[in-house]
Amino acid sequence: MTVRTQPDAVPPTALVPPCALAGLWAVRHGQSTANVAFAAAEESGATGPVPGRDRDVPLSALGVAQAVALGDWLAGQAAEAGPDLVVCSPYTRASQTWEGMAARAVGLGGPRLDVLVDERLRDREMGVFELHPPTALRARAPQEADRRELIGEWCYRPPGGEALTDVAVRVGQFIHDLGRAAPGRRVLVVAHDGVIIALRHVLAGFGAVAPEQLPPVPNASVSRWNGDGDRLRLAVWGDTAHLSSLGDAEGTRHT
């Protein structure tokens, strides 16, 4: 589905930081094998973690197909209006998403774009609960689950991990540096749902109200901010129209 949105409402006293980018797109990686495992755990009540490291989790078969569909979307962007630079998360599922969409776009006559990797675009770190499905927290640490519900997802920091407020700090520094390093550029970011939610909050400016309910960011969705040389304004959130041929395009939260 296509989700167009009005720019985020901010209080009259809000201060919106300048950003000289001409445009910004944020793509969440395609469905990962951990997304699949977490969905299965919700059905079965399983609490065992996905083996390995979070940063090494690859795309599922559907995620690979979603990356190809994103390549169709990229190839359809006008050369003078679409992205001209890519910055990608270092995590495998994000790099595989970019590689899949880039190969497809080039095969269709689309642009060959420069790509950079930035560690600040990594997924939210879950500490001792890394790669544990949501069902594990309630089963294995009920008091911690109670604390998460009390604090709320935006501010909850798992032991040894990050709150989304922490993610917003590093994402804010990233977008500040990017605006200074690439003025006038049209940038595509390939990252994770928590990073994209943090981008939305940061770009709404100082004084923007923290979300009580996190806005959904489907797998392989595209969000867009338009730039006027001074600031970025949210234009489209969580667009999945390019995934229509794949059936159910809705993604699941990784953490």
Structure confidence by residue, pLDDT tens digits, 51-101: 999 999 999 999 999 999 999 999 999 989 999 999 999 999 999 999 999
- pLDDT for 90: 98
37-50 average pLDDT score: 93
- pLDDT for 251: 46
- pLDDT for 249: 47
114's enclosing H/E stretch is strand 114-117
- pLDDT for 12: 55
Looking at this protein, which amino acid is placed at residue 149?
E
Express each pLDDT in 165-215 by its tens digit: 999 999 999 999 999 999 999 999 999 999 999 999 999 998 888 888 899
Reply yes or no on whether the pLDDT at 3 is more than 70: no
218-230 average pLDDT score: 95
Name, in order, each residue with C-beta under 8 angstroms of 15's C-beta and a sequence gap of 6 or more.
Answer: 205, 206, 207
Q: How far is it, in rounded angstroms, from Cα 17 to Cα 172?
A: 10
- pLDDT for 111: 86
Give the mean pLDDT of the chain: 91
Query: Is residue 224 a contact partner of residue 239, using CB atoms and an 8 Å limit?
Result: yes
Q: How far is it, in rounded angstroms, from Cα 75 to Cα 253?
A: 27
31-44 average pLDDT score: 95
- pLDDT for 7: 54
- pLDDT for 34: 97
- Pseudo-torsion of CA 79, 248, 198, 214, nearest 10°? 150
Q: How far is it, in rounded angstroms, from Cα 203 to Cα 68?
A: 29
pTM exceeding 0.85: yes
- pLDDT for 9: 54
**Residue 2 pLDDT grade (very low, low, confident, very high; cuts 50, 70, 90):** very low
- pLDDT for 11: 54
The number of CA neighbours under 13 Å toward the Cβ of 69 is: 25
Q: How far is it, in rounded angstroms, from Cα 110 to Cα 71?
A: 9
How long is the chain?
A: 255
Q: How far is it, in rounded angstroms, from Cα 68 to Cα 75?
A: 11
Full set of structural domains in the chain with CATH = 23-242 (3.40.50.1240)
